[in-house]
Chain A
Amino acid sequence: MCTPSTETPALLVARGLSQQYRKTNLFSGSVLAVPAFEDVSLVLHRRTTLALVGESGVGKSSLARCLTLLEKPLRGELLFEGQNLLKLSKDELLPFRRAIQLVFQDPTSSLNPRLTAAEIIAEPLLVQREGASGLRHQRALQLMGQVGLPMKWSDKRPLEFSGGQRQRLAIARALALRPSLIIFDEALSNLDIESQELILRLLADLQSEHRLTYIHVSHDLQLVSRIADECAVMHQGRIVEHKPIARLLEHQDDPYTRELFAGMSSVESILKNRFAEVVP
């Protein structure tokens, strides 16, 4: 991964994003407001990997959904390649939905069990009306090859695949529209160690080949330290620290972050274990 240079404009800039979930009690009329995250600001450069860590329930998934435009935050700005996405109408957002993709934690629930693998992968193309059905099928097969799934399995249904293979399907689907940014919401948490390794290798290959930018939402610090360039730590709905990973591992400013990273082994041993392409 290349060091982010200050000349190239950032891919994604978030400023002051806040989200709340409101529940209105019909009878008493009272409104219960549960804050998800507050005043989140991020800068993401191309071809880097950002890790978003924190304990469960801290608002990471909520943030991921907002960044993928699945939810609308209460306030703030979200600039993608200079455009403020939150000000755009539904139709204007359509091209941006191609550029930002989300891979979910549980591949079983994120794939429709009644569709075949090829149909699932080609669906984004269908929704965005790209190409005729024959072309879409071809592209689906091609993507299957890229993620390491045999093309002859294109007629199988998701439940016939293993967990790791299903996640590959989800990744293939995410690649269909040639995105610039892929957000992984705890996408490796449900997999066993072996599958995790395979998928991480795949992701690294894909990132260099397609010039992708990644955001990994995770609670697994070991994992994160192996693949991320930068790391943002969330605590109680706010980002308390955001630094390049090597500096973060050496020294943590925030007390919460210190606690989080307390159990980690020495910096050198971690950095030795990183993926080949990733150099601090």
Chain B
Amino acid sequence: MTYRHKLWTGLILLGGIHTVILLAGFVAPYHFATQYREFPFAPPTRLHFVDDQGRFHWRPFVYASPDSGSPDETQADGKHRYPVNFLVQGCAYKIGGIFPAHRHLFGVAEPAEIFLLGTDEYGRDQFSRFLYGGQISLLSGLLGASFSVLFGLAIGSIAGFYGRWIDDVLMRVVELFLACPWLYLLFAVRAALPLHLPEWQVFTLLIAVLGLVGWARPARLIRGVVLSAKERNFVLACRGFGASNSYLLFRHILPQTYGVALTQMTLLIPQYVLAEVTLSFLGLGVGEPMPSWGSLLSYLQQYYVLESYWWMFLPALLLVPTFLAYKAVSDALLERVGAVSL
């Protein structure tokens, strides 16, 4: 695949995934915290296209008995067909956290339920939680990576440009950060912050933590670029006309770093998403009831879940396309911008 193909395939895939996640409220039939205590650990609702009389329907439907409404019924006797409706009215949500809305992409009429990925211990729809969880995980990754790269850009530029003792001191700090294994560092920084906080504070905290852990490597790379750019003849020529340091930095030197910075971003984002997933998996991320991809997977640490409830694994599989897409984009960019050393 040429780098162009890779780049665009990756970008389109990423765009699709992110749009769906952004519109989680719309795509998800349920709110992430709504519990259906009567359906704990329910397997995914089966969609049917052919009814018991052998007739084919374009619109898929689910079986449910009108009184109990319990899903996961494959036999038709005594059960009614509840077709899947599109653009239904449902529970309230906010698009992008601001605009209130009621319409959902799909749903079924009462008393049937449609749990595409099954439910968890409290009867919460896994599919909806997966979508909402994606918001947390992906956004943490994006914001955390941006923070790291921006911070690294600033530090790296200063160290590379001004040189001498500033460079020495900053690079020692970089060395300090790089001397710890990143996951341990992540945990340590997380540990330094309060464990139980209201949702949005934890979220901002998480981003800050992620950003603080990973700025060192981008900073070192960018410093290298700045160091070599600083000595280029066109920079010297510009100095010759009397250009000030800040002019040189912003007009000539920083533009040379954008390629590296961008590549680092695409490399770091999936790593940070994974870091958030890991933290939440181990109970150090956003707390209940806010879902995250990691907290969805944390149930799998319990034997009985692992053994009997296979659908709890499904969110894990849905992670893979996201990482694949990011990898495609970063591979394409690396080819273009050139190999980046350790």
Assess A/B contact in the complex (Cβ within 8 A): yes
**Residue ranges of A at the interface with B (Cβ–Cβ < 8 Å):** 26, 68-70, 93-94, 97-98, 101-102, 104, 106, 109-112, 114, 123-124, 127-128, 170, 173, 177
CB-based nearest B residue for A113: B234
The CA of A70 and the CA of B238, in the complex, are separated in Å by: 10
Interface size class of B (residues with CB under 8 A): 10 to 19
Contacts of B168 in A (CB 8 A): 26
B234 pairs with A111, CB closer than 8 A: yes
For B238, what are the chain A residues with a Cβ–Cβ distance below 8 Å? Answer: 123, 127
- Whether the Cβ atoms of B255 and A127 lie closer than 8 Å is no
Q: Is there an interface contact between B242 and A112, defined as CB atoms closer than 8 Å? A: no
Residues 221-264 of B contacting A (Cβ, < 8 Å) = 232-234, 236-243, 247, 252, 255
**Chain B residues near A123 (CB-CB < 8 A):** 238, 241
- Asked, given contacts A112-B252, A114-B255, whether A128 binds B237 with beta carbons under 8 Å apart, the answer is no
**From residue B64, how far is it (CB to closest CB) to chain A in Å?**
64
Interface Cβ pair total, 8 Å cutoff: 44
CB-CB under 8 A from B247, the residues of chain A are 127
* B residues near A109, Cβ cutoff 8 Å: 232-234
A70 touches B233 (CB 8 A): no
A127 & B233 in contact (Cβ 8 Å cutoff): no
Contact B241 A70 (CB under 8 A): no
Contact A110–B233 (Cβ < 8 Å): yes
Can you list 14 contacts pairing A with B, beta carbon distance less than 8 Å?
A69-B240, A70-B240, A93-B242, A97-B242, A98-B241, A101-B240, A102-B240, A104-B237, A106-B233, A111-B234, A112-B252, A127-B242, A128-B241, A170-B237
Instruction: State the majority secondary structure of interface residues on B.
Output: helix
Q: Which residue, B168, B233, B238, has most C-beta atoms of chain A within 10 A?
A: B233
* Complex contacts, A173 vs chain B, CB 8 Å: 237
Chain A residues with CB below 8 A from B234, complex form: 109-112
Is A124 in contact with B252, judged by CB distance below 8 angstroms? no
CA distance A173 to B236 in the complex (A): 14
CA distance A170 to B234 in the complex (A): 10
Q: Which of A111, A114, A128 contacts B242 (CB 8 A)?
A: A128
Cβ–Cβ < 8 Å partners of A102 in chain B: 237, 240
Given contacts A97-B242, A110-B234, 18 further A-B contacts (CB under 8 A): A94-B242, A97-B240, A97-B241, A98-B242, A102-B237, A104-B237, A106-B233, A110-B236, A111-B234, A112-B234, A114-B255, A123-B238, A124-B241, A127-B238, A127-B243, A128-B241, A170-B237, A177-B241
Query: Which residue on chain B has the smallest CB distance to residue A109?
Result: B233
A94, B158: Cα distance in complex, Å: 25
Taking CB atoms, residues of chain B closer than 8 Å to A110 are: 233-234, 236-237
- B239 A70 Cβ-Cβ under 8 A: yes
Closest 4 CB pairs of A and B: A110-B233, A97-B242, A124-B241, A109-B233
- Complex Cα gap A104–B243 (Å): 17
Q: Shortest Cβ distance from A90 into chain B, in angstroms?
A: 8
Task: Pick from A68, A127, A177 the residue with the most CB of B within 10 Å.
Answer: A127
B236: A residues at CB distance < 8 A: 70, 104, 110
A170→B240 CA distance, assembly (Å): 13
What residue in chain B is nearest A110 (Cβ atoms)?
B233
CB distance from A84 to the nearest CB of B (A): 18
Measured between alpha carbons, how far is A278 from B271 in the docked complex, in Å? 68
User: What 1/0 flags go to B162-182 for Cβ under 8 Å of A?
Assistant: 000000100000000000000
What is the minimal beta-carbon distance from B90 to any residue of chain A, in angstroms? 52
CB distance A127 to B241 under 8 Å? yes
- How far does the alpha carbon of A202 sit from the alpha carbon of B233 in the complex, in Å? 23
Q: How far is the CA of A93 from the CA of B240 in the complex (A)?
A: 11
In-complex Cβ contact of A68 among B233, B240, B243 (8 A): B240
Residues of B within 8 A of A68 (CB): 240
Contact flags B142-173 to A (C-beta < 8 A → 1, else 0): 00000000000000000000000000100000
Q: What CA separation (Å) do A102 and B238 show in the bound complex?
A: 10
CA distance A170 to B237 in the complex (A): 10
Q: Which residues of A contact B242 (CB under 8 A)?
A: 93-94, 97-98, 127-128
| Chain A residues with CB under 8 A of B233 | 104, 106, 109-110
Q: Write out the residue numbers on chain A whose beta carbons fall within 8 Å of the beta carbon of B241.
A: 97-98, 123-124, 127-128, 177
CA distance A70 to B236 in the complex (A): 7
B125 to chain A, nearest CB (A): 51
Closest to B242 in A: A97
Nearest-Cβ distance from residue B128 to partner chain A, whole angstroms = 47
Residues of B within 8 A of A170 (CB): 237
Query: How far is it, in angstroms, between the C-alpha of A254 and the C-alpha of B1 when the chains are bound?
Result: 66
Task: Give the residues in chain B near A114, CB-CB below 8 Å.
Answer: 255
Cα A94 to Cα B238 in complex, Å, equals 12
Q: Chain A residues near B232 (CB, 8 Å)?
A: 109
A68 to B238, CA, bound (A): 12
B107 to chain A, nearest CB (A): 53
Residue of B nearest to A104 (CB): B233
Residues of A within 8 A of B240 (CB): 68-70, 97, 101-102
Residues of A within 8 A of B243 (CB): 127
Closest to A93 in B: B242
Quote the shortest CB–CB distance from B88 to chain A (angstroms). Answer: 53
CA distance A124 to B168 in the complex (A): 33
| Cα separation A70 to B235 with both chains bound (whole Å) | 11
Question: Whole-angstrom distance between the alpha carbons of A104 and B238 in the complex?
Answer: 12
